[in-house]
Amino acid sequence: MKPETSDFLAGLPRQPRLLVVDDQAIQIQVLYRALAPDCQVLMATSGEAALRLCHERLPDLVLLDVEMPGMDGFAVLQQLKADPVTRELPVIFVTGHTSDDVESRCLEAGGVDYISKPINPRVVRSRVKTHLMLKFQSDLLRDMVFVDPLTNSYNRRYFDQRLAMEWSRARRSGAPLSLLMIDVDHFKAYNDHYGHPAGDQALREVVRALTRHLQRPGDTVARYGGEEFACLLPETDHNAALMLADRLELCVRELALPHAFSGAAQVVTVSVGVGTATPPLEDGEQSLVQDADAALYRAKHGGRGRALG
């Protein structure tokens, strides 16, 4: 049967990426025919391969066979839910069993929906479309809640949650946790002289430079407030954090954004305060913010345009 491609993508912000998981290649083919070319379709024939693809490619939606040799669909979903990276992935179960019992097990396990085989391509397309709309809406909401619209970096709300999470993770793992507080120097004078729109643009460029120079996937830059940014560095000791702080200070300086009132440099610079918490972490996570703030204060008073621990 020829898929109806006409209006599938209407209302979706981009082409969706689906993962179809089934131990029988013929079943994958049927679903593939129903959903491509509207969707980018990834395929896996085992639970293990599905988990790997979920991690590497973060699909928008997973169509997951229940009965598979080895790891079955329920076990796959359980593992997806146990991992913060994949916890929110919507999963539609696909199964040959049509009993009420299997249906309720699928939904109780956390599946967002349930499709029975043999599949009806039109029904599959409609259900997939509905769940993609929901997925994109919840992505949008999450961005609105956690992303700063000016700089496109994470916002303070995200930072506070992430800090609490990394704090308890460090407590469990025993690894040090570092924090950089980064404040743009003489930024009031920049705005006064060049205007607020230029100030906004400078903030965007500073964030882009900082983000580019962070290497590890766990490192996060967030806008802490105004012209101040916080950079959280899991599993990073004080020396490594100081080295990174120096590199970040330099990368902002090398943007060479003219700033007539920045002192000797004549370009936009930042001051960086470095704090490190080493387990056992007996105080609360705000002690790390206080340490980084105190170091930032010393960097400002030591002449700005520098990083201090």
Give the N- to C-terminal CA distance of the chain in Å, as an integer.
Answer: 66
Q: Kindly state whether residue 113 participates in binding Mg ion, applying the rule CB under 5 A.
A: no
Query: Residue with the closest Cβ to ligand GH3?
Result: 199
Measure Cα distances from 246 to 97, 157, 196, 255, 299 in Å: 60, 27, 28, 15, 12
- Span near ligand GH3 by CB under 6 A; candidates 3-11, 89-97, 158-166, 185-193: 185-193
Measure Cα distances from 136 to 162, 175, 216 in Å: 23, 36, 27
Residues from 64 through 103 that contact Mg ion (CB under 5 A): 65, 67-68
- Span near ligand GH3 by CB under 6 A; candidates 25-33, 159-167, 168-176, 194-202: 194-202
# binding residues, Mg ion (CB under 5 A): 9
**CA–CA dist 90, 124 (Å, integer):** 15
Cβ proximity to Mg ion, 21 vs 54, nearer residue: 21
Provide CB contacts within 8 A for 183, sequence distance 6+.
227, 228, 229, 270, 271, 272, 296, 300
Stretch 212-251: interaction string toward ligand GH3, x if CB under 6 A:
--------------xx------------------------
How many whole angstroms from its chain centre is CA 94?
Answer: 28
The nearest distance, CB 261 to ligand GH3, in angstroms, is 9
**CA–CA dist 104, 229 (Å, integer):** 47
**CA–CA dist 71, 31 (Å, integer):** 21
Among 24, 45, 116, 191, interactor with ligand GH3 by CB under 6 A: 191
Q: Kindly state whether residue 185 participates in binding ligand GH3, applying the rule CB under 6 A.
A: yes
Q: Kindly state whether residue 60 participates in binding ligand GH3, applying the rule CB under 6 A.
A: no
**CA–CA dist 244, 254 (Å, integer):** 15
Cβ proximity to Mg ion, 238 vs 306, nearer residue: 306
Cβ proximity to Mg ion, 136 vs 191, nearer residue: 191
Phi and psi for 177 in degrees, rounded to 5? -130, 125
Cis peptide upstream of residue 90 (ω within 30 degrees of 0): no
Stretch 143-162: interaction string toward ligand GH3, x if CB under 6 A:
-------x------------
**CA–CA dist 184, 151 (Å, integer):** 14
Q: Classify 275 as helix, strand or coil.
A: strand
- Span near Mg ion by CB under 5 A; candidates 142-150, 159-167, 222-230, 232-240: 222-230
Helices (H) and strands (E) in the chain, counts: 10, 10
Stretch 19-48: interaction string toward Mg ion, x if CB under 5 A:
----x-------------------------
Residues labelled as active-site residues: 227
Contacting residues toward Mg ion, per CB under 5 A: 23, 65, 67-68, 183-184, 187, 227-228
Judged by the rule CB under 6 A, the positions of this chain that interact with ligand GH3 are: 150, 183-189, 191, 196, 199-200, 203, 226-227, 300, 304
